[in-house]
């Protein structure tokens, strides 16, 4: 496939602490650093919708900042449209639009049009060209009727769409979205996903890299997903090929009148046991248990919690949570 973007063996660290004391110490010992990305490699094809999926702190935003030329890596290489991002940041930047849901960067007292005139001027547009580009961009995000309203009166959904219009002003080939649906309600989040999928990738042929911590969003939207955890890519591929791990971890909730150490010890000994949490309720005790889905584990768990003493009141399988998928994938790596 024709590559639009490549990341090869990228490491990134930040100073572990800052302030005058750390600065002074650094003269003697050197500045301590904390690594947040480890040997990250991936590539994104032209016209692809690529997801970076991971929990908070995984390193998604750091990777998008590296790709947007806002920071530089300690090691490794990044290219956009064949251009080396480190040696030629200006050429790379011309091909990139970054959408963060940072609404503070807009002028609240100005209208959407005036805001876009300002940001358009920053990327070298003016006169009739600028006016035409504004019309095109707001049409793509369905804000034409609200173009002359003040930004301060915009709803959260409209605000995010205006950040998309702003990113489109310089007509970049590739768009980066950093948790685009974080600050919007579910209905507008759905509209925004449709906009990214159908208009930007489908109609306008853009390449999109989208960072998210929502499993459903990545699964529903993306052609391929890289699962990022603690600075490492732990899995990469089309969602349907990754979802074998979706139900790899089962969570059960067992309600009992009481628990004793013997019962908990038996539970911990069940093959595939991962973790348990005991919670006292007005009616007794709930034990939440995480298990690998192996043959025979369910029966062994049932026996462990129903043997002598305690009265079993309820036993149910809980819905898998996105974080389980990350856990499973990281553990597999560490094994």
Ligand X SMILES: Nc1ncnc2c1ncn2[C@@H]1O[C@H](COP(=O)(O)OP(=O)(O)O)[C@@H](O)[C@H]1O
Distance CA 333, CA 81 (A): 31
- Enumerate binding residues for Mg ion (CB under 5 A): 61
Is the Cβ of residue 47 or residue 54 nearer to ligand X in the bound state? 54
| Site for ligand X contains 32 (CB under 6 A) | no
- In order, the DSSP letters of 235-279 are EEE-HHHHGGGTTSEEEEEEEES---HHHHHHHHTSTTEEEEEEE
Stretch that binds ligand X, among 50-58, 89-97, 219-227, 252-260 (CB under 6 A): 50-58
CB under 5 to 8 A by kind: which of ligand X, Mg ion, none does 59 bind?
A: ligand X
Stretch that binds ligand X, among 57-65, 95-103, 267-275, 278-286 (CB under 6 A): 57-65
Measured at the alpha carbon of residue 146, what is the angle toward residues 143 and 148, in degrees to the nearest 5? Answer: 125
CB under 5 to 8 A by kind: which of Mg ion, ligand X, none does 54 bind?
A: ligand X
Is the Cβ of residue 56 or residue 87 nearer to Mg ion in the bound state? 56
CB under 5 to 8 A by kind: which of Mg ion, ligand X, none does 62 bind?
A: ligand X
State which of residues 54, 97, 180, 322 lies at the interface with ligand X (CB under 6 A).
Answer: 54
How many chain residues bind ligand X (CB under 6 A)?
10
Distance CA 44, CA 159 (A): 28
First to last CA, the chain: 33
Distance CA 63, CA 7 (A): 9
Are the C-beta atoms of 181 and 215 separated by less than 8 Å? no
Is the Cβ of residue 141 or residue 235 nearer to ligand X in the bound state? 235
Q: Enter the DSSP assignment of 320.
A: P
Pull the structure tokens for residue 1: 């496939």
| Site for ligand X contains 61 (CB under 6 A) | yes
- Please identify the residue of the shown chain whose CB is closest to the bound Mg ion: 61
Site residues (vs ligand X, CB under 6 A): 14, 36, 54, 56-62
């Amino acid at each position: 496939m024709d590559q639009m973007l490549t990341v090869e063996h990228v490491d990134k660290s930040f100073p572990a602490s800052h302030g005058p004391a750390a600065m002074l110490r650094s003269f003697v010992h050197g500045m301590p650093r904390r690594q947040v990305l480890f040997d990250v490699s991936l590539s994104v094809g032209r016209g692809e919708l690529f997801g970076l999926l991971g929990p908070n702190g995984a390193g998604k935003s750091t990777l998008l900042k590296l790709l947007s030329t806002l920071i530089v890596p300690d090691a490794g290489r990044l290219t956009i449209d064949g251009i080396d991002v480190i040696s030629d940041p200006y050429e790379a930047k011309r091909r990139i639009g970054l959408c963060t849901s940072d609404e503070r960067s807009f002028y609240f007292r100005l209208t959407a049009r005036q805001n876009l005139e300002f940001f358009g001027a920053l990327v070298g547009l003016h006169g009739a060209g600028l006016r035409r580009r504004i019309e095109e961009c707001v049409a793509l995000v369905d804000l034409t009727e609200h173009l002359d309203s003040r930004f301060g009166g915009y709803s959260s959904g409209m605000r995010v769409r205006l950040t998309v219009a702003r990113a489109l002003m310089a007509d970049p080939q590739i768009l980066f979205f950093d948790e685009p649906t974080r600050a919007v309600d579910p209905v507008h989040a759905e509209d925004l996903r449709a906009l990214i999928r159908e208009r930007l990738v489908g109609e306008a042929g853009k390449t999109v890299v989208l960072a998210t911590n929502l499993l459903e969003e990545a699964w529903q939207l993306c052609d391929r997903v890289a699962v990022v955890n603690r600075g490492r890519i732990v899995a990469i591929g089309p969602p349907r090929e990754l979802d074998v791990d979706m139900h790899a971890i089962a969570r059960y909730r067992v309600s009992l009148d009481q628990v004793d150490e013997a019962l908990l010890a038996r539970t911990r000994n069940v093959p595939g046991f991962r973790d348990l949490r005991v919670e006292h309720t007005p009616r007794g005790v709930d034990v939440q248990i995480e298990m690998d889905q192996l043959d025979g584990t369910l029966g062994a768990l049932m026996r462990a919690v129903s043997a002598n003493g305690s009265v079993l009141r309820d036993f149910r399988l809980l819905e898998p949570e996105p974080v389980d998928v990350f856990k499973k994938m990281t553990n597999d790596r560490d094994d």
